[in-house]
Amino acid sequence: MADLQKGSKKLLNAWAFYDWANSVYTLTIASSIFPIFYSALFINQVEKVVPAFGFQFKSTALITFVTAFTFLVVSFTSPLLSGIADYVGNKKSFMKFFCYVGGLGCIGLYWFSLDHIYLSLLFYFMGLIGYWGSLVFYNSYLPDIAFEEQQDKISARGFSMGYIGSVLLLLINLAMVMTQDDVADKMQMMRYSFITVGLWWILFSQYTFYWLPKGSSKGHKVTKDVVFNGFKELKIVWNQLTQNLRLKRYLAAFFVFSMAVQTIMLVAVYFGEEEIAWGDGDEKTMGLISSILIIQIVAVIGAVLTSRASAKFGNISTLIFVNFIWMSLCFYAYFMITPTDFYIAAACVGFVMGGIQALARSTYSKFLPETTDTASYFSFFDVAEKIGIVIGMVIFATIDQITGSMRNAILFLFIFFLIGIVLLFRVPSKTN
């Protein structure tokens, strides 16, 4: 295979195609069918609790705490692995590893049950860590394969391809589930849908892996010293970040607002399942999945419009506006009761979800100094995101567990958007 030149159409499309491959995880597992499946496991329980790790957890609080723990693991391992990847010069191997771990974890969810809660949570852990672990290296490829003027557009294209691909598989999964009349048969089809996600993710990623470059080969071999060299590399990057005021302030703002964005996206369906007054079980399932479809469809439009807005008004100004919308949604969510309320919120979330993700990634890429060690720099971006998610999820789960209401937890998140807006205003327009 001949190496493709930076900025070539085939290389950019191959990179963006990984969003098509892996976004089925976020839609089916993280956002729709698995949360519905997980909630259905407690349908015969009044209090919806599960014993685990020596405690009695509220069902939604347990899965939120486990999610937070997974992100904590990712946040500590990703900078180390990124440093090693840049040192050895083979980031694609790391990206493949996490992709396969995640895909196999999704397949393993077929056997998820409360009777084997620890094995079940292990498969959930594998899917989550595989998805986010591979993203560390996927994101770090952006400045390697695209020139600065291409990055906003190709980043948005990647998210758009991910939304389209994930919606396609979700529609197939939805047909599998809703054509069944018996509850047990519906649950079985949900289990099969987890297998389809793992296979889709692994198989479609092969196109990306075929065309992406191996990495900036440096001829280094893996030794016991590589681990320490990875930490040394991170220290160098950290020192460089402290000298780049614009990048440092942007990372601070990103850390805060991403904390709230990712938490909302991860708990949205659990919130809708528990707090919205649905009718029967079928109406709830159709309503929740319809809401997710609304989010995905609108998100494609939102990602494109946000990219155009950033070109006209600037990245930071656009991010500030989008954060204002997110902050308003936190207040709206507290008062939601009916399915119609939830659908309206879903449309609004979709509009700003794709935009803020794509723009946050490309803005960081634009602010980077000239360097070949992009994986190490992007590890800071990912660490900020993951630590933020850990804090956001733990706060959310704690409020949910103590008060017994997810409404109180989601209302609290508006504070992070407010702080994020203030910090974005402090980002210099030019490098200092």
Q: Which two tokens stand for residue 425?
A: 């205003």
Per-residue burial over 61-78, b if 16 or more Cβ lie within 10 Å, else e, is: bbbbbbbbbbbbbbbebb
The radius of gyration of the chain's CA atoms, rounded to the nearest angstrom, is: 21
280: DSSP letter: S
| CB 152, CB 11: distance < 8 Å | no
Number of H helices, E strands in the chain: 16, 2
Residue 49, phi then psi, degrees to nearest 5: -120, 160
Give the CA count within 13 Å in the CB-facing half-sphere of 328: 11
Contact between residue 60 and residue 272 where contact means Cβ atoms under 8 Å apart: no
Tell me the residue type at 352: V
Q: What angle do CA 146, 144, 390 make, to 5 degrees?
A: 100
Q: What does the block give as tokens for 301? A: 């439009």
Contact 361, 157 (CB under 8 A): no
Angle at 245 between CA 88 and CA 233, to 5 degrees: 15
End-to-end, the C-alpha distance of the chain in Å comes to 42
Q: List own/partner pairs for 185-192 with CB under 8 A and 24 or more apart.
A: 186/285, 187/37, 187/40, 190/33, 190/34, 190/36, 190/37, 191/37, 191/109, 191/110, 191/111, 191/112, 192/110
> How far is 71 from 50, CA to CA, in rounded Å?
22
Q: Report the sign of the C-alpha dihedral through residues 175, 176, 177, 178, in that order.
A: positive
Residues 6+ apart with CB under 8 A from 422: none
Residue type present at position 113: S
- Pairing type for strands 49-52 and 55-58 reads antiparallel
Which residue's structure tokens are 């919130």?
271
Contact between residue 354 and residue 159 where contact means Cβ atoms under 8 Å apart: yes
- Render each residue's pLDDT in the chain as its tens digit; 432 residues: 447 777 678 888 888 899 999 999 988 888 788 988 888 888 776 667 788 887 788 887 888 888 889 888 887 777 677 667 666 667 888 899 999 999 999 999 999 988 888 999 999 999 999 998 888 788 778 777 877 777 777 877 887 788 788 889 988 998 898 888 888 898 899 999 999 999 999 999 999 998 888 765 555 565 666 666 656 766 777 787 777 888 888 888 888 898 888 888 888 888 887 788 877 667 777 788 888 778 777 877 887 888 888 888 888 888 999 899 999 998 898 888 888 888 888 888 888 887 787 788 778 878 887 765 666 677 677 777 788 888 888 888 888 888 878 888 888 888 999 999 999 998 887 654
Domains of the chain: 17-425 (1.20.1250.20)
Give the integer Cα–Cα distance in Å for 119 and 69: 16
Strands, E, within 160-295: which ranges?
none
- Judge whether 161 and 13 are in contact, CB under 8 Å: no
Q: How far apart are CA 298 and CA 300, in angstroms?
A: 5
Query: Helices 339-367 and 281-313 sit at what angle, rounded to 10 degrees?
Result: 40
Residue 432: the pLDDT is 46
pLDDT in the model for residue 304: 81
Q: Which two tokens stand for residue 412?
A: 């609290």
Cα–Cα distance for residue pair 41/187, rounded to 1 Å? 9
Amino acid at 91: K
Please report the pLDDT score of residue 216 as a whole number: 56
The pLDDT score that the predictor gives to residue 431 is 54
